[in-house]
Amino acid sequence: MPEEYPIYNREFSADIPNLYHYTSQGGLLGMLNSKKLWFTMLNFSNDTVESTYGIDLIKSILEEYEYIKYYSPFSLDYTKPKISDLDLPLVFTFSLSEHGDMLSQWRGYCPNGGYSIRFYQEQLDVMMKENDMIIGKCIYNTDDQKEFIRKNIITLSVDQFKDKWNYYRQGIHNRWFEGFQLEVNQRIRRYAPLIKHYKFEEEAEWKIITDYTPSSSSLTGGLQSQRQYMKLSNLLMKGILEFREGKSTLIPYLNMQLAKDEKSVHIPELIISPTPHKGLALVAAQFLLDKHETSSLTFKLNEDTSGVVRNSDIPYRHW
């Protein structure tokens, strides 16, 4: 697997670049006031094939292995010879980009103005570890995607799998296959969101992913569905699962705590979208960060506090 497409489990690594999240003015105010981030349900993203593109590619590769099935968490029949459909019903993601000031991002996510936010990585680390999240870089090249699937999801070549399968059929590796298939399906739910359509490559997207789908594919369909709804009910009771307005449908999302107690959400860098009032926008944004004690953090980190907020360099006019 090329080194430029790493997977990181539950924490940021030193070689992860600065990452930015694009949001509206209301989105920024909501994050700072609530100290929470919104994780959107995968099926409801603005990429219409977000929850199907990676799955379809994984299915095509699994066909090469012949005996591995792809199970749906809602499927009532786990004996089907064919690979079942899965829509990742309880997988939620938070998107970040390597580009902090990009025209297509402003147009797509801040059509009426907004901000590009770089978060303090240590705060993200704490949130990820407490909620068993992962972060990974999205993969756009088809050859890289196939290699990623074989190495990080299936973890065996076709020949290696056939050798183990033959031992299993002879009773040498007792129950090996059941455990292996369970692990494959768990990794599919975990990593499929990182496999993106090549048309989105310029976004250079990274995702923080959290998965609330039941993990045991060995359960019967009825118990599996029961587990599913128990997890969903738990999210609703805790007030973590929320809904917001979309253009054509309500959008489910998770409200995940980023900062706790008296701590503020720390933003080392904030970029303002193209605006006709650059001076006023700069002053207002800096006042906002000062109010939430962001500048004091950058001072402690020996960063230049005068560079906490800046305007976009793009000469684009949307007004």
The ranges assigned to domains in the chain are: 7-101+129-258
| Angle (CA) 76 78 79, round 5° | 125
Most confident of 131-140, 167-176, 300-309: 131-140
In sequence order, the 6+-apart residues with CB closer than 8 A to the CB of 199 are none
Q: What is residue 295's predicted lDDT score, i.e. its pLDDT?
A: 45
Name the band, by pLDDT with cuts 50, 70 and 90, for residue 256.
very high
CB 134 within 8 A of CB 206: no
Cα dihedral sign, 161-167-173-175: positive
In 3D, which of 222, 194, 199 has the Cα closest to residue 104?
199
In sequence order, the 6+-apart residues with CB closer than 8 A to the CB of 221 are 74, 75, 76, 77, 78
Q: What is residue 82's predicted lDDT score, i.e. its pLDDT?
A: 34
Q: Where are the alpha helices (DSSP H) in 193-257?
A: 221-238
Tell whether the model's pLDDT for residue 141 goes beyond 60: yes
Q: What is residue 306's predicted lDDT score, i.e. its pLDDT?
A: 45
The pLDDT of 33-54, averaged and rounded, is 82
Look up the pTM and report it: 0.82
In sequence order, the 6+-apart residues with CB closer than 8 A to the CB of 187 are 152, 153, 155
Name the band, by pLDDT with cuts 50, 70 and 90, for residue 167.
confident
Six-digit token string for 150? 């074989």
End-to-end CA distance of the chain: 44
d(CA 109, CA 115): 9
Tell whether the model's pLDDT for residue 124 goes beyond 90: yes
CB-neighbour burial class of residue 212 (10 A; exposed 0-12, middle 13-18, buried 19+): buried
Six-digit token string for 9? 């489990």
- 150-159 residue pLDDT tens: 999 999 998 9
Q: What is residue 318's predicted lDDT score, i.e. its pLDDT?
A: 80
- 80-97 residue pLDDT tens: 333 334 444 578 999 999
Name the band, by pLDDT with cuts 50, 70 and 90, for residue 233.
low
- 93-110 residue pLDDT tens: 999 999 999 999 999 899
Q: Quote the crossing angle between the two packed helices 158-169 and 176-191, to the nearest 10°.
A: 150
Most confident of 40-54, 81-95, 218-232: 40-54
